A and B are shown apart, each in its own frame.
Chain A
Amino acid sequence: MREASSRRLRLPRGEGAGAWLCAGSVALSLLALLALLALLTVRGLGHFWPSPVELVVLEDGRQLAGERIREVPLARGDGVERLYRTGNRDLDGDRWAWVRVAAIEAVSHPVDLVVLERRRWGQAIGRLAAFQAASGERIEGEAAWAALEARLDELTALRDARDRLREEVILPLAARRGDEGLADGELTAAHGRLRELQAAMAGGRLILDTADGDSLSVPLEQVLGARRPNAMSTLDRLAAWGEGVWRFLSEGPRAANTAGGVWPAIFGTVLMVMLMSILVTPFGVLAAIYLNEVAHQGRLTRLVRIAVRNLAGVPSIVYGVFGLGVFVYGIGGRLDRWFFEASLPSPTFGTGGLLWASLTLALLTLPVVIVATEEGLARIPDQQREGALALGATRLEMLSQVVLPMAAPAMLTGVILAVARAAGEVAPLMLVGVAKLAPQVPVDGDFPFLHLERKFMHLGYHIFDAAFHGGDVQAAMPLVYATALLLVLVILVLNLTAIFLRHHLSTRHGALTRR
C-alpha cells in the first residue's frame, strides 16, 4: 500500500521532458483553477466580514470615518494612496474617499462608531447622537444605542409578521374572493391587522453625527441594520458575517443590483435549468434512440449525426437570436393574438420569459444530450438486445426494459453536461427573457403557480449587470465576486445531484461487464 502510494507520487525520472511537460500542465491547470476559486471566495465572502471602521485624522484637521478597502501606489513614486469606504453618499455625494497615506495624522478605532445599512443611499457611518422613538421620546448617549438595537429587533419581528400575514392570509383570501362572497369579511379583517402592523412599524428616527461634523437624521424604516464593528468580538463578527451571507442568499437586490441579495437570481437560475433539463431530456433521449436503434444506419443517418455534433459548436448567441425570432416573436406573438388578446398591445408570451429561455437553452443543449445518450447506447452489446428479443420481447419492450436502463448513466452524463452548459449561459438569455430586476420569482401562490411567461433573474446576468451597469462599480465589485462564487456553487450542486443519481444507477447492477 505504502509502496504503491510512493510510486504514484514519485516524480518521473529518466523519461525525458515529456512526462514533466504533462505533469506541469496538470499542475498549472490545477493552480489556475484553485486561484480562480480562491479569488472568488476571498473577495466574495470577505465582503460580508464586518471589517473595523477607522477614524482618520488628516494633517489639515479634517476627519473621516470608513472601512479601509485597499492601497494604491501613486504615480511618480509620490507615496501611497488609500481608499476608504466612508458611506454617507447623501451628504458627501460619494461613498468613497481616497486619502494620501502621508497626509494621515492619526488613525483610531473608536468603539462607538456605528455603521448603518440603509434602504436608500447605502451605508452611513458616524456616531449615534440620539434615538427618537415613535412616541417622540428622545434618548441620547449610550442608552440610545441600546434603545436603537431593541427597536430594530422589534421592527424585524414586525416585518416578518407582516410578510407572513400577506403571504399566508391575504393572498389566499384575495385569490378566493372571486368564487365565494364569504371571504370578504375575513379579508377586511386581515387588511385591518395589516394596517395595525404597519402603524406599529412607522415612526422613529435616529440622529447620526458624522466624522466631519455633519448631522444625519435617518427615519427608522430606512434602516436595515446597525452595528458597531469596532466593538464586536470575533464571535459577533462571525455572527454578523453569517447574517450577511444569509441575507445575500435570501433577499432581493437593492440599489440597482449593487447591494442586497440575489435570491431571485438563484431561484431563476435553478428553475430555468430544471425546466431546461425537463424539456431537453426526453427529446434528446428519443432522438438518440431513433438514431441509434431504429434508423437504418445509412448515409443519411451518418449525415444527421454529423449535423447534430456540429450543432453543439454553434455559438450560443445564435441560439438566442433563433429563440427571439421563433419562440418570442413567432410562437409567443401568435399565442398572444389567440389567447391574450385582451391585454394587447402589452405582450404576455410575446416577450422574453422563463418558458422561452428554457426552450432556447434546451435547444442549445440538445446536441449534448443526443451525443452522450447515443454513445451510451452504442456501448451496450448487441447480445443484450438479442437476449431480450430471443425471449419474445418486442422492440419496444427490449428498449424500455433492457436497453434504456443500461443507457441511463450515459443519459445522465448528457444531462450533467447540458446543465453545466446551460447554467453558465448568459448571452442567449439576454435576448429571450432574463431581466435586470424581477423581484417577483416565477413561482407563487397565484394560479397557475408557475408563471412561465414572466421574466426572471439569472446569476450570470446579475454578474454582468452589477459589474457594468450599476452606478457604483466599486461598491458592486464584492457582490460580483460573491455572485460568481455562488454561480459556481449552484452549478456544482446541480452537477453533484446528477452525478449522485448516475452513480446510484450504475452501481445498482455493478459495472457493465464487457468481454
Chain B
Amino acid sequence: MPLVKEQRSSPDSAAIIDFPPEASSLAIRGLSLAYGDKPALNDLTLRVPRHRVTAFIGPSGCGKSTLLRVLNRLHDLNDEVVREGEVLLEGEDIHAPEVSVAELRRRVGMVFQSPNPFPMSIHDNVAFGLRLQGGLSKRKRDDIIEWALRSAALWDEVKDRLRASAWSLSGGQQQRLVIARTLAVGPEVLLLDEPASALDPISTLKIEELIRNLKSHLTLVLVTHNMQQAARVSDYTAFLQHGELVEYAPTDTLFTNPRLARTENYITGRMA
C-alpha cells in the first residue's frame, strides 16, 4: 500500500488536533522510546486537554500502553528502556532531576488492566497511598477514604465491610476499589490502562459511568482496545500505529469522519 507508506513518512499535521497550553494538562514533545534496540514510540508530540477524557486506541503493540507508562514514569524500573523527548505536566518536565518520582506518581495516578488490590482490607487498600504520605490524622484519613470510595461509586457496597479482605470483592468492585485507592491520594491525572477489559459488561458500564463522572475534576487518559468504549466515554481520541501518532481528533470526528485512510481502516476493522 504505497499510500500508507507515504503518510507514515510525513504525518499529516492537520490530522492532529492541538490545544492551547493553558487548557492542557500534559504535553508530550518529541517522545521516542525503545526497549533495548526495539523501538516502541517514535517522535510523539501531543497535548492532553485538562478535565477531559482522552482515549488512546490502536492495534496491539502500537505503543499506547508504553506511552501511558511513560506518563507515570513506570519505565524507570527497566534499565533497558531508552527514552528521548520530554513530557510536561502542567508545564514542568516530569523527568527533570528535581522531580520526585513518588510525588509525580501521586499527581498522576494509574489503574491497570486487571484489578490489583493489595492483600489487605478494603479500608487499608484505600489508606495505602495516604499512609505512605503520612501526616494525616486517622479521622482525616477516614474522611478521605469515604470520599474516595464514594467518588468511585463503591461506598454503598462496601461501607459495612471495610475491614473485609479486598480480595473478597468481585472483579468489578476490585477495579473500582483500585480507582478509589488512586483517587484517595488526590491525583490531577488518572491513567487507565484498559481498565474494563477483564470485567463483565455490567461492571464495564459502571466503570465507564465512573470515568464520565470523574472528568469534572480530573484529566483522564484511557487506553483501550474497545472502540465502542472509546466512543462512549472519551472526548478526544488518538489513534496510534507502529509507535506513531496517526490521528488525534475529537472522538465524534475521529469515529465518524476520520481524515486518514489508516484510521478509517482500523476503526472499521479492515486492518489486522
- Say yes or no: B105 contacts A389, CB within 8 Å: yes
Question: Which residue of A391, A394, A508 is within 8 Å of B128 (Cβ)?
Answer: A391
By a CB distance below 8 angstroms, the chain B residues around A401 are 118, 128
CB distance from B102 to the nearest CB of A (A): 4
Residues facing B in A374-418 (CB within 8 A) are 381, 383-384, 386-394, 397, 401-402, 405-406
Question: Which residue of A392, A402, A508, A515 is within 8 Å of B118 (Cβ)?
Answer: A402
Return the chain A residue nearest B130 by Cβ: A391
Residues facing A in B53-108 (CB within 8 A) are 72, 74, 77, 79, 101-103, 105-106
- Say yes or no: A402 contacts B119, CB within 8 Å: yes
Known pairs A381-B116, A391-B185, A392-B129; A508 contacts B102 (CB<8 A): no
- Say yes or no: A391 contacts B119, CB within 8 Å: no
- Say yes or no: A384 contacts B116, CB within 8 Å: yes
- Say yes or no: A296 contacts B79, CB within 8 Å: yes
CB of A10 closer than 8 Å to a CB of B: no
- Say yes or no: A391 contacts B182, CB within 8 Å: yes
Residues facing A in B102-137 (CB within 8 A) are 102-103, 105-106, 109-110, 112-114, 116, 118-120, 128-129, 132-133
- Say yes or no: A397 contacts B132, CB within 8 Å: yes
Interface string of A491-515 (1 = CB under 8 A from B): 0000000000000000011111101
CB of B167 closer than 8 Å to a CB of A: yes
- Say yes or no: A383 contacts B114, CB within 8 Å: yes
- Say yes or no: A391 contacts B198, CB within 8 Å: no
CB of B168 closer than 8 Å to a CB of A: yes
By a CB distance below 8 angstroms, the chain A residues around B110 are 386, 390
CB of B254 closer than 8 Å to a CB of A: no
By a CB distance below 8 angstroms, the chain A residues around B77 are 389
CB of B245 closer than 8 Å to a CB of A: no
Return the chain B residue nearest A405 by Cβ: B119
By a CB distance below 8 angstroms, the chain A residues around B178 are 387
Task: Report the bound CA distance from A392 to B114 in whole Å.
Answer: 19
Task: Report the bound CA distance from A71 to B185 in whole Å.
Answer: 82
- Say yes or no: B112 contacts A406, CB within 8 Å: no
CB distance from B230 to the nearest CB of A (A): 22
Return the chain B residue nearest A394 by Cβ: B102
Question: Which residue of A388, A391, A402, A508 is within 8 Å of B106 (Cβ)?
Answer: A391
CB of B165 closer than 8 Å to a CB of A: yes
Question: Which residue of A381, A390, A392, A513 is within 8 Å of B167 (Cβ)?
Answer: A513
Known pairs A384-B118, A402-B119, A513-B167; A392 contacts B132 (CB<8 A): yes
CB of B166 closer than 8 Å to a CB of A: yes
- Say yes or no: A510 contacts B167, CB within 8 Å: yes
Task: Report the bound CA distance from A406 to B114 in whole Å.
Answer: 17
CB of B52 closer than 8 Å to a CB of A: no
CB of B47 closer than 8 Å to a CB of A: no
CB of B50 closer than 8 Å to a CB of A: no
By a CB distance below 8 angstroms, the chain A residues around B166 are 509
CB of B181 closer than 8 Å to a CB of A: yes
The tally of CB-CB contacts under 8 A between chains A and B is 77
By a CB distance below 8 angstroms, the chain A residues around B112 are 383, 386-387, 390
- Say yes or no: A383 contacts B182, CB within 8 Å: no
Known pairs A296-B79, A389-B74, A392-B103; A383 contacts B116 (CB<8 A): yes
By a CB distance below 8 angstroms, the chain A residues around B132 are 391-393, 397
Task: Report the bound CA distance from A296 to B185 in whole Å.
Answer: 31
Interface-centre pick from B79, B103, B129, B132 (highest chain A CB count, 10 A): B132
CB distance from A435 to the nearest CB of B (A): 45
CB distance from B179 to the nearest CB of A (A): 12
By a CB distance below 8 angstroms, the chain B residues around A394 are 102
By a CB distance below 8 angstroms, the chain A residues around B116 are 381, 383-384, 386-387
Return the chain A residue nearest B133 by Cβ: A392
Residues facing B in A284-307 (CB within 8 A) are 296
By a CB distance below 8 angstroms, the chain B residues around A389 are 74, 77, 105
Question: Which residue of B105, B113, B165 is within 8 Å of A392 (Cβ)?
Answer: B105
Task: Report the bound CA distance from A402 to B120 in whole Å.
Answer: 9
Interface string of B139-155 (1 = CB under 8 A from A): 00000000000000000
Interface string of B151-188 (1 = CB under 8 A from A): 00000000000000111100000000010011001000
CB distance from A303 to the nearest CB of B (A): 19
Known pairs A389-B74, A392-B129; A509 contacts B120 (CB<8 A): yes
By a CB distance below 8 angstroms, the chain B residues around A515 are 114, 198
A/B interface sample: 25 pairs, CB < 8 A: A386-B110, A386-B112, A387-B112, A387-B118, A387-B178, A388-B118, A388-B128, A389-B77, A390-B109, A391-B106, A391-B109, A391-B132, A391-B182, A392-B101, A392-B103, A392-B133, A393-B129, A394-B102, A397-B132, A401-B128, A508-B119, A509-B167, A510-B165, A512-B167, A515-B198
Other than the given A391-B132, A402-B119, A515-B198, 16 more pairs (CB < 8 A) read A296-B79, A386-B112, A387-B118, A387-B178, A389-B74, A389-B77, A390-B110, A391-B105, A392-B102, A392-B103, A392-B105, A392-B106, A392-B132, A393-B132, A405-B120, A509-B165
Closest 5 CB pairs of A and B: A391-B129, A392-B102, A390-B110, A387-B116, A383-B116
Q: Which residues of B contact A (CB under 8 A)?
A: 72, 74, 77, 79, 101-103, 105-106, 109-110, 112-114, 116, 118-120, 128-129, 132-133, 165-168, 178, 181-182, 185, 198
Q: Which residues of A contact B (CB under 8 A)?
A: 296, 381, 383-384, 386-394, 397, 401-402, 405-406, 508-513, 515
